[in-house]
Chains A and B, each alone.
Chain A
């Protein structure tokens, strides 16, 4: 698969994961990690309105982990990095 095919396949796989409602957008980019190895950079964008507490943080971290496991267990060749972020 080329970069774009791999990115689209990752998006399809992520759609199969039930994400918390606080995640309003998912961004997937094909790139490289700091050593130059192929990587998939996945950002789970959390709604700016989120009132942060530990319970929410745990749920969001769990969602990020589920996305990463889903991608790791697929046939994608790029290593997935999944991060949470929040628009200002």
Chain B
């Protein structure tokens, strides 16, 4: 398994630990792992798309080009019912699986921030399992669109959205 799949499995494991009284540490790490599972899935594939001839270690450097906040903005655009498409994306069809991936990314990122930094809030198992299920659903949806035009364009937009935005009428 790759890192993204390992993280998703770890998230599921942590979400089910301590069946009677789950520890906040386990629940919070589960949410964080669920987010990073999807983050690594997307950025690893984007790095491969951009730099297919680089060795794996160098591609890891490319993954660092991606900014969490910018990725969230792109995902919100793709999930919106009124995506303002730049001219070069005007014919792009946004499928339901892609929108599920985009939506899951936005939700998971917000949850991850709360899990890692908002220690005043307690997590419950049900809320954590929702986040893990979101990540798992995003992985399944992502497989459905692999190799498609929207898959490639979405990955490029995660890094280059600002440049696409310049094309807006």
Contact = CB atoms under 8 A, between A and B. Distances in A.
A30 interface: no
A46 B127 CA distance: 10
Interface string B12-36: 0000000000000000000000000
A76 to B, nearest CB: 11
B125 A60 contact: no
Nearest to A39: B110
Interface residues of B, number: 23
Given A33-B110, A34-B110, A68-B103, A83 B80 contact: no
A46 B129 CA distance: 13
Contacts, number: 52
B130 A35 contact: no
Contacts of A61: 130, 133-134
A37 B81 CA distance: 18
B18 to A, nearest CB: 14
Contacts of B134: 61
A85 B124 contact: yes
B69 A86 contact: no
B133 A85 contact: no
B130 A52 contact: no
Contact of B130 (A33, A50, A72, A84): A84
A10 interface: no
B160 to A, nearest CB: 19
Contacts of A34: 109-110, 113-114, 117
A70 to B, nearest CB: 11
Interface of B: 69, 72, 76, 79-81, 103, 106-107, 109-111, 113-114, 117, 124-127, 129-130, 133-134
